[in-house]
Amino acid sequence: MSEPTIRLELSAAEALVLFEWLARFNKTRRADFEDGAEERVLWNLEAMLEAVLVEPLASAYDDLLALARAQVRDRDSE
């Protein structure tokens, strides 16, 4: 029997912002994981986003990321 799956829906901007944070987080490894499974889930999530996003390979990645952050950011936090 296969394990049930859960699907999450993100806007393109949300996915890009999340990918950038995960990539940075996974590189620094500054976390207090209670279990190795928590770290594995973050790695897997980053890999899934990496497989579907084309923006990280674009020469204008910084500009695309800034635009995505602006689209996602809470207007009150600016």
- What range does the domain containing 49 cover? 12-73
CA–CA dist 44, 42 (Å, integer): 5
How many structural domains does the chain have?
A: 1
Residues 33-71: tens digit of each pLDDT:
888 898 899 889 999 999 999 999 999 999 999 999 999
| 78 located within any domain | no
Q: What is the mean pLDDT of residues 11-20?
A: 91
23 inside domain = yes
**Position 8, amino acid:** L
- Is residue 25 situated within a structural domain? yes
Taking the model in full, what pTM does it have?
0.75
CA 69 to chain centre: 12
| Residues 9 and 65 sit within 8 Å (Cβ to Cβ) | no
Highest mean pLDDT among 5-9, 28-32, 35-39, 72-76: 35-39
Residue 76 has pLDDT above 80, yes or no: no
pLDDT higher than 70, residue 78: no
Average pLDDT in the 27-37 region?
80
- Whether 38 is covered by a domain: the verdict is yes
